[in-house]
Structure 1
Amino acid sequence: MSDTLYLQLDQNIQVEHPHIYLQDIASLSCSNSKVLNRLRVMPVANLSPDKPGRYVMSVMDLITEIQKREPDLEINPIGESNFIITYKNEPGPRLIWQWCKIIFVGLATFFGAGFSIMTFNNDVDLGSLFSGIYTQVTGQPSNNFTVLEITYSIGIGLGVLFFFNHFGHMKITTDPTPMQIQMRLYEDDVNTTIIEDIDRMKQK
């Protein structure tokens, strides 16, 4: 009875060195420890150190190479049929550039959200609405700094906090935040598009 190798692959695997071995991109399981150790160090790709980027590969390519080394081995692939190797080789100076981009995106998001809230308030004329409600309830003119404006401002902050389920390193619940969900969906769409584009280019 031949041994069985279980080969599990994710859709996108990130590596930080150009010499890629099978253990770097896949989770391996086999009852034969000798075969498993040999396959762990099987070379998969030798990328150019100066060309970081995304590289699409097929699980069939891996199976072909494994069968050349272990012809009697039964291979059971689990997971993705096509996958992406994301090679990132970032020297020290690029870390500063990364932080600059993070700060820029954070500021753009903060001021953009604030501008959106202000334009919404102006569109519905929220100031006049609060002023009218305050005058009707209390019988006194509003100075535009009443309990309505204060509670509304606090409510916006709390609403954003509860919606995004995140404040610094603290999370209100263990559920993923809406931002994390949207980023995951975006990442999945990008990976799927890259793989489909490569497949179309091969067919042409």
Structure 2
Amino acid sequence: MTTETSPTLYLRLRKRINIKPGQTVTLGLAARLFAGNPVLERRLQQLVLYKHRQKDGNRVVIDLLQIVQKIRGATPQIEVETFGDPQVLVIVSDTPPKPRMLVLIIAWLLLFFGAGLAIMNFHTDVSMKEVHQRITEMITGDKNEHPLWLQIPYSFGIGIGMVVFFNHLFRKRFNEEPSPLEVELYMYEENVNEYVIAEEMSKTSEREEQGQSR
């Protein structure tokens, strides 16, 4: 039971943080916290959780139990209430990665022509030209080999539909709803983070077991 002599710290770990080689990770960097006492809160924000070493590599996982041990070691009387993820992934990088324009241009060209070929192959498979000819014949009564009055707006409609679907036109965003591509990228990043955390935790457990066996 919490009393005046045992303050409560509310803690939510961040999913992922970025540091430079040799940098120190403090509690304020790794988590959002609220203690109700500004002085205690500022002191806990400066609590050192981890200092990067070269042998640790460029990915490190800090577990919630390690953080709670550090907090209780610095402030034994405090009660810790945690929310959210049980680990924080630390990415170590000297400089943030810069976009490579040549790779971007090549990828854009591949996607552009690949999407165009996919649409054309689909139209060939479903005999879209014959369908347009049949629709024209049903409406006008005349058979037309090239019903441009139907094919031209249909082509524009495909482009407009793709713009609306992805919710972007260059840097212009139509509304706040995330596009399917943004959702997929988010899910990919979440899966990568979960995999890296599981892999790092497995390596840590193996090292601890080897240390105990010795």
Q: Same fold (TM over 0.5)?
A: yes
Partners in 1 of 2:58 and 2:108 — Cα distance?
A: 25
| Match of residue 21 from structure 1 | 26
Q: Aligned pair 1:37/2:42, yes or no?
A: yes
1:80, CA displacement in angstroms? 0.7
Q: Is the 8 Å Cα contact of residues 30 and 88 (structure 2) preserved in structure 1?
A: no
Partners in 2 of 1:125 and 1:159 — Cα distance?
A: 21
CA deviation string 1:23-72 (max 9, x = no partner): 11211211222222222122222224798733222111111111111111
Pairing 1:55-134 to 2, within 5 Å after superposition: 55-90=60-95, 95=98, 97=100, 99-134=101-136
| Match of residue 177 from structure 2 | 175
Which 5+ residue runs of structure 2 have no aligned equivalent?
A: 207-214
Which 5+ residue runs of structure 1 have no aligned equivalent?
A: none
- Pair 1:125–1:47, CA change in 2 (3 A): same
Residue aligned with 2:60, SS? strand
- Pair 1:155–1:112, CA change in 2 (3 A): same
1:184, CA displacement in angstroms? 1.1
Equivalent residue in structure 2 for 1:191, among 183, 188, 193: 193
1:104, CA displacement in angstroms? 3.3
1:136, CA displacement in angstroms? 4.4
1:96, CA displacement in angstroms? 5.3
Q: Which range is displaced more, 44-53 or 29-38?
A: 44-53
Residue aligned with 1:20, SS? strand
Q: Is the 8 Å Cα contact of residues 25 and 48 (structure 2) preserved in structure 1?
A: yes
Amino acid paired to 1:161:
V
1:7, CA displacement in angstroms? 1.2
Q: Is the 8 Å Cα contact of residues 30 and 36 (structure 1) preserved in structure 2?
A: yes
CA deviation string 1:126-178 (max 9, x = no partner): 12322333244334453536111101101101110111111122222211111
CA RMSD of aligned residues (A): 2.5
| Match of residue 149 from structure 1 | 151
Identity %: 27
TM-score normalised according to structure 2 size? 0.81
Q: Is the 8 Å Cα contact of residues 52 and 88 (structure 1) preserved in structure 2?
A: no
TM-score normalised according to structure 1 size? 0.84
Residue aligned with 1:77, SS? strand
For these two proteins, the number of residue pairs brought into alignment is: 201
- Pair 1:128–1:26, CA change in 2 (3 A): same
Residue aligned with 1:95, SS? coil
Partners in 1 of 2:174 and 2:180 — Cα distance?
A: 13
- Pair 1:39–1:195, CA change in 2 (3 A): same
Equivalent residue in structure 1 for 2:51, among 46, 51, 69: 46
Partners in 1 of 2:55 and 2:66 — Cα distance?
A: 24
